[in-house]
C-alpha cells in the first residue's frame, strides 16, 4: 500500500490550525478534550455525528475499586488473570490506581451513576471480577457518560467539532506528526487540519466481522492510518467475542450485558440444561473467552444456532429497574426477560489489539497518540476484563491530555519552525468498484475463518482470499469514504490473520484447535507488526 490514500497539497487545500486534533467522539476522545487546558485549541473529528460511537453502546459499567473490601491491588490481580499472561503491569497499575480519581471527575461533570440506599455509588459484579466494583447507570452506562461529556464539551469555546468528517491519514514529516488529512462528507472536500499533536481515539475494527456489537463506523481506520504512518500495531489476533448477544431474526447485534450474568442469570443449552459449571469453576462468571467458546461448543454439539440466558427467577420489578434498556428492547421483540429465556449467541465485541503505545499514549510517531480501543498499551493482554474498556479511555485520555497541554505551552514559549508545504501525488488507476460487495465478502470471510475457533487451514484460506482482494484493489483510484474504509479493512484483515497465524498456541481470546495449549516458553510475548 502507498503511504497515503489520496493526493493532497497542504499549500493549496483548505487548512485549519489547531494545537491538538482528536479522531473520535467516544468517551476516550471527548474526555481527552475535556482534560486539556482551556487555552489549547482543539478539533474533534468524528466520522458520523457526535452521538455515534462504540462507547454509547456500552451497557455494563466502569470498573473501580471503591468498596472497603476491595482495593486497586485486587483489581490489578483480576485484570492480569483475565489477560492470560500478556498484560503490561506498568499500564495496569496506572489503570487501577488512577481509576477513582477519574470517576470522581465524571461525578463532578454530573454523570448520574446509580446509588445505594446510603447514597454511595452502587457496585455490582461482572465476569472474572473477584469483588463488586462495577459502577453503572442502569444498563446504559456508556450512553449516560457520553451524553454528559458531550454536553460539557459543547460548552467549551476552545473545542471545534467536525461531524461527518472522515480521517483519511495523518500527515508526517521526518517522523513528526504535522496534522490530519480529512474529508468533509457534507461539502465533499478534503481539508488539512494542521497540528503537531493528533490523538487517535477512533475505536476498534469490529466491522471486519459479520456479527458485531460495534456500530458501522468501527472499520479500523485509526489502526490502518497509524500503520501507514509507520506506527507498530500490537496483538491484533486477540479479538473478543461477547458471549451473550441477542439472537433474533431482526437483531443480531444487541448486547445482553455481562451484568445480567453478574446479577444471577444462568446459561442453558437447547435441551434446557445448564452447562457452564462443566466448563469453568466460575461458571457463568468465567472470563469472556471461556464463556464464548463454551457457548460455541454447545451450539455445535446440539446442532443449533443459539443458547438461552435465563434470569426469570429474579424479582420482576427489580429486573425492570436494573435493566430498563434490555427489558424494553427484548420486549419489542416479544421476549419478556422477567418470564422468558433470552436467545443469545456470541458476536464480535472488542479488539484487544491496536496501535502500540506506551503508558502515556505515545506511539512511534512523534506527536501522534492513541487511547481507548484504538490503542494497545498492554492493559488487556489476551482478553479484556469486563468494564475495563471505558475506564481505559478515561485514565489514558487524561494522561495524554496532560502531556499534550504541557507540550503546547512549551512550544509557545519558544520559536517553532513552520513545516514546509507537504505534497503527495499518486498515480491514479481505474476507479474502484464493487466496494459494498467486497466489504461483505471480507466480513463473511473473517467470521467463518478468523472467529472464536481457529486453525491453520481456515486462517490460510482467509489469507489467500484477502490477498486476492488486495491485489484486485491496488493501484485503483480511491475517492470516497466507502473506498477508503475498504482499503483499511483489507489492510487490517491481512494483519489480523497474519498475527493469528504467527501465534501457534491458544491464549485468551485466540484459540486454535491445531495448537490448543498455552505455550509460555515461546509465546508469552506480544505480537508486533
The model's pLDDT over 154-181, given as tens digits with 9 standing for 90+, comes to 999 999 999 999 999 999 999 999 999 9
User: Of these residues, 133, 178, 261, 288, which one is catalytic?
Assistant: 288
**Do 252 and 246 form a contact (C-beta atoms < 8 A)?**
yes
Question: Which parts of 102-164 are beta strand (E)?
Answer: 134-135, 159-162
Q: Does the pLDDT value for residue 516 go beyond 60?
A: yes
pLDDT at 287: 84
Q: Please state, for a pLDDT cut of 90, what percent of the chain lies above it.
A: 79
Query: Please, what is the average pLDDT of the chain?
Result: 92
Residue 10 neighbours by CB distance under 10 Å: 18
Active site residue 252: no
Distant-in-sequence, close-in-space partners of 315: CB < 8 Å, separation ≥ 6: none
Cell output for 469: 482482494
Question: Going from the N-terminus, what domains does the chain have, and what CATH number goes with each?
Answer: 239-349 (3.90.700.10)
Mean pLDDT over residues 122-149, rounded?
87
Question: Which parts of 116-158 are beta strand (E)?
Answer: 134-135
What are the pLDDT digits (tens) for 304-343? Answer: 999 999 999 999 999 999 899 899 999 999 999 999 999 9
Mean pLDDT over residues 504-520, rounded?
96
Most distant CA pair in the chain: distance in Å? Answer: 73
Distance, in Å, from the CA atom of 410 to the CA atom of 431, rounded to the nearest integer, reads 46
**Helix, coil or strand: residue 528:** strand
Q: Does the pLDDT value for residue 429 go beyond 80?
A: no
Residue 518 neighbours by CB distance under 10 Å: 15
Nearest CA to 139 out of 390, 324, 328 is that of 324
Distance, in Å, from the CA atom of 49 to the CA atom of 28, rounded to the nearest integer, reads 16
pLDDT at 127: 78
**What one-character DSSP code corresponds to residue 44?**
E
Q: Cα 175 to chain center, whole Å?
A: 26
Q: Does the pLDDT value for residue 414 go beyond 60?
A: no
Distance, in Å, from the CA atom of 363 to the CA atom of 36, rounded to the nearest integer, reads 19
Helix, strand, coil percentages, rounded to 5, for the chain: 35, 20, 45
pLDDT at 354: 98
pLDDT band at 420 (very low <50, low <70, confident <90, very high): low
Amino acid at each position: 500500500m502507498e503511504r497515503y490514500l489520496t493526493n493532497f497539497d497542504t499549500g493549496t487545500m483548505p487548512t485549519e490550525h489547531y494545537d491538538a486534533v482528536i479522531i473520535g467522539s467516544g468517551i476516550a476522545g471527548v474526555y481527552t478534550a475535556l482534560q486539556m487546558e482551556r487555552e489549547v485549541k482543539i478539533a474533534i473529528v468524528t466520522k458520523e455525528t457526535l452521538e455515534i460511537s462504540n462507547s454509547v453502546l456500552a451497557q455494563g459499567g466502569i470498573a473501580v475499586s471503591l468498596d472497603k473490601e476491595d482495593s486497586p491491588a485486587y483489581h490489578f490481580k483480576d485484570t492480569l488473570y483475565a489477560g492470560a499472561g500478556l498484560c503490561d503491569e506498568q499500564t495496569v497499575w496506572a489503570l487501577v490506581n488512577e481509576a477513582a480519581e477519574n470517576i470522581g471527575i465524571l461525578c463532578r461533570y454530573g454523570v448520574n451513576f446509580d446509588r445505594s440506599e446510603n447514597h454511595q455509588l452502587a457496585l455490582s459484579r461482572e465476569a472474572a471480577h473477584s469483588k463488586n466494583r462495577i459502577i453503572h447507570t442502569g444498563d446504559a452506562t456508556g450512553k449516560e457518560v457520553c451524553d454528559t461529556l458531550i454536553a460539557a464539551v459543547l460548552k467549551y469555546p476552545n473545542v471545534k467539532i467536525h461531524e461527518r468528517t472522515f480521517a483519511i491519514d495523518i500527515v508526517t514529516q521526518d517522523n513528526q506528526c504535522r496534522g490530519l488529512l480529512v474529508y468533509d462528507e457534507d461539502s465533499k472536500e478534503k481539508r488539512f487540519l494542521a497540528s503537531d499533536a493528533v490523538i487517535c481515539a477512533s475505536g476498534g475494527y469490529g466491522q471486519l466481522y459479520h456479527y458485531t456489537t460495534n456500530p458501522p463506523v468501527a472499520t479500523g481506520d485509526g489502526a490502518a492510518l497509524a500503520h501507514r504512518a509507520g506506527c507498530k500495531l500490537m496483538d491484533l489476533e486477540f479479538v473478543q467475542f461477547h458471549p451473550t448477544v441477542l439472537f433474533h431474526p431482526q437483531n443480531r447485534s444487541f448486547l445482553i450485558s455481562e451484568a445480567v450474568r453478574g446479577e444471577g442469570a444462568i446459561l442453558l443449552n437447547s435441551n434446557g440444561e445448564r452447562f457452564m459449571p462443566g466448563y469453568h469453576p466460575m461458571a457463568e462468571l468465567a472470563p469472556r473467552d471461556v464463556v464464548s467458546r463454551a457457548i460455541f461448543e454447545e451450539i455445535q454439539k446440539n446442532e443449533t444456532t443459539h443458547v438461552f440466558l435465563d434470569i426469570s427467577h429474579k424479582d420482576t420489578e427489580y429486573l425492570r429497574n436494573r435493566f430498563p434498556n434490555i427489558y424494553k428492547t427484548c420486549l419489542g421483540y416479544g421476549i419478556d426477560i422477567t418470564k422468558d429465556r433470552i436467545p443469545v449467541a456470541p458476536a464480535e465485541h472488542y479488539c484487544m489489539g491496536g496501535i502500540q503505545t506506551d503508558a502515556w499514549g505515545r506511539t512511534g510517531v512523534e506527536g501522534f497518540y492513541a487511547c481507548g480501543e484504538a490503542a494497545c498499551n498492554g492493559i488487556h493482554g489476551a482478553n479484556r476484563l469486563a468494564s475495563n474498556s471505558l475506564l481505559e479511555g478515561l485514565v489514558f485520555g487524561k494522561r495524554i491530555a496532560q502531556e499534550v497541554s504541557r507540550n503546547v505551552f512549551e512550544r509557545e514559549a519558544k520559536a517553532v519552525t513552520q513545516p514546509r508545504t507537504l505534497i503527495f501525488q499518486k498515480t491514479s488507476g481505474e476507479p474502484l468498484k464493487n466496494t459494498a460487495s467486497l466489504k461483505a465478502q471480507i466480513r463473511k470471510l473473517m467470521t467463518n475463518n478468523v472467529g472464536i475457533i481457529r486453525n491453520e487451514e481456515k486462517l490460510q484460506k482467509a489469507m489467500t482470499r484477502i490477498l486476492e482482494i488486495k491485489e484486485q484493489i491496488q493501484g485503483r483510484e480511491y475517492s470516497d469514504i466507502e473506498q477508503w474504509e475498504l482499503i483499511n479493512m483489507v489492510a487490517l484483515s491481512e494483519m489480523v490473520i497474519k498475527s493469528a497465524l504467527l501465534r501457534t498456541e491458544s491464549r485468551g481470546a485466540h484459540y486454535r484447535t491445531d495448537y490448543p495449549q498455552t505455550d509460555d516458553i515461546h509465546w508469552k510475548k506480544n505480537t508486533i507488526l
